[in-house]
Structure 1
């Protein structure tokens, strides 16, 4: 008994919606500061925002307001992620604050990364201890891998259904 085309269409739509919803929520970009979240006044800092390989544009926000928008991405060889670098040549007191990044989707912007607090220190002061920014690269790779597995299963189901429709039943021959 082969599946009806309407049944296959329903399955495809259901799985497609599931994949679409996963991609809409996942993955959350990650943000880090180089050389670190505490930078001496006048020194440069570079914010590195990581997202999925298909992200085309990123935006860096400070305290919820856009600072840099639509920066082109830099693909990483062999990695299923993309990064963008936002460079600030010399930090000042007004540079300090909570930064987040997000990337552009076909239907809007992704969720924001975990906030990274940039602190401006005096030249000779030691950085205060505190929580470091979290890198979500491994979690994002796992999520993208799971989405790929679901997509492969969907393709396998469709191929099998197509082959079963073209098979002719082997009945008794006269």
Structure 2
């Protein structure tokens, strides 16, 4: 039988999916990123000592490479550039290279609600500052009125 050694072992090339299982891709601390915050994407396989590549949808070349002695590699991303769809794969670190299939896509999004909270906080601060300013204006007017009436009473 072609491609098999005695005892039924195959000497031919294996499909990569048979050798390296599909990795998982997760966002740490989570897939929703606050403006200005950073996020790390963790690509995890089942074997230690692999090379990992992170892809972003829309880019042909890998975004980042990492060699890792662990079963995973972390890819740090800056918060402002983090939103997007990502996938990763891993492979043996030396020839003959055996690749895993790509991970399921992971969508990283920006948290716009925190910017709304920031705006709401600013509006509250501005309102309080306006209230203090109006109160000071009332006090100045009252002081002026009381001085003019005191002068009117002092004159014969």
**TM class by smaller structure:** 0.5 to 0.7
User: Hey, what's the Cα distance between the residues in 1 that align with 2:46 and 2:101?
Assistant: 13
- Asked if structure 2 preserves the Cα contact closer than 8 Å seen for 1:29 and 1:51, the reply is yes
Deviation of the 1:13 alpha carbon: 2.9
* 1:85 equivalent among 66, 74, 91: 74
Deviation of the 1:23 alpha carbon: 5.3
Deviation of the 1:117 alpha carbon: 0.2
SS at match of 1:118: strand
* 1:96 equivalent among 77, 83, 94: 83
Tell me, which stretches of 5 or more residues in structure 2 are unaligned?
117-156
TM-score (norm 2): 0.58
Classify 1:22/1:60 alpha carbon distance in 2 versus 1 (closer, same or farther; 3 Å).
closer
Deviation of the 1:45 alpha carbon: 0.2
User: Hey, what's the Cα distance between the residues in 2 that align with 1:23 and 1:63?
Assistant: 22
Q: Deviations over 1:71-92 (max 9, x none)?
A: 02142xxxxxx0101112x311
* 1:109 equivalent among 99, 114, 122: 99
TM-score (norm 1): 0.52
Deviation of the 1:47 alpha carbon: 0.5
- Asked if structure 1 preserves the Cα contact closer than 8 Å seen for 2:33 and 2:109, the reply is yes
Q: Deviations over 1:9-50 (max 9, x none)?
A: 333434x669x4475464100000011111111101011110
* 2:67 equivalent among 50, 57, 72: 72
User: Hey, what's the Cα distance between the residues in 2 that align with 1:60 and 1:35?
Assistant: 17
Runs of 4+ deviating beyond 2 Å: 8-14, 20-26, 105-109
Classify 1:73/1:123 alpha carbon distance in 2 versus 1 (closer, same or farther; 3 Å).
farther
Q: Which is bigger in relative contact order (C-alpha 8 A, separation at least 6)?
A: 1
User: Hey, what's the Cα distance between the residues in 2 that align with 1:87 and 1:95?
Assistant: 9
